[in-house]
Amino acid sequence: MQAVSVIGIDPGSRHTGWGIVSEVSGVLQLVDCGVIHTLSVGKDLSPRLAHIFHELSGVIARHMPQEAAVEQIFTAQNVASALKLGQARGVAVAACAAKDLPVSDYEPTLVKKSLVGTGRAEKDQVAFMVRRMLNMREGKLALDTTDALAVAICHLTMRRFVKLVGE
């Protein structure tokens, strides 16, 4: 069976987590991961969005994943937050589309359920399962990073499921 690699993205206007996971015959392996931090300068969101786009484009060019998975927006605290989050998400999707990656969207509750077994799992529970599934023993990762890795793992799980059902 051929390896497939997926970039998972947890979009945010201040912190965008990303993680690339590879899978061969059901075995997951961490390729690389990180967080894109943007500087909040005034009310202009444009520089932050450009930074997210350029950083993600660089990550995709460097690692060349075959597919992308992006977390959908959950209900934000207020309308302004939802708009900013939506714009950051749009920039992340555009960065993937600009590199011809097929993009899949996943609701946060589905991501949590596929890893932890409940759609209401806490971020620490998701981080714990990500570390277990990727056989990571050392180092602590930012929660934005583990959320992004969780999205990638969810995508690979759904991908396997669709192949099983289709056969």
Residue with tokens 């075959």: 66
Chain-centroid distance of CA 109 in Å reads: 14
For this structure, is 71 an active site residue? Answer: yes
**AA identity, residue 60:** I
Please report which residue ranges of the chain form alpha helices under DSSP H. 46-63, 79-98, 108-116, 123-133, 143-166
Catalytic pick from 23, 71, 122, 138? 71
Rounded to 5 degrees, φ, ψ at 19 are: -155, 140
Question: Cα–Cα distances in Å, from 30 out to 12, 20, 55?
Answer: 22, 6, 19
Catalytic pick from 10, 23, 67, 147? 10
Catalytic pick from 23, 55, 67, 144? 144
Q: Which two tokens mark 80? A: 């302004």
Asked if 12 and 88 count as a contact pair (C-beta separation under 8 A), the reply is yes
Residues 6+ apart with CB under 8 A from 112: 118, 119, 120, 121, 125, 126, 150
- The residues carrying an active-site annotation are 10, 71, 144
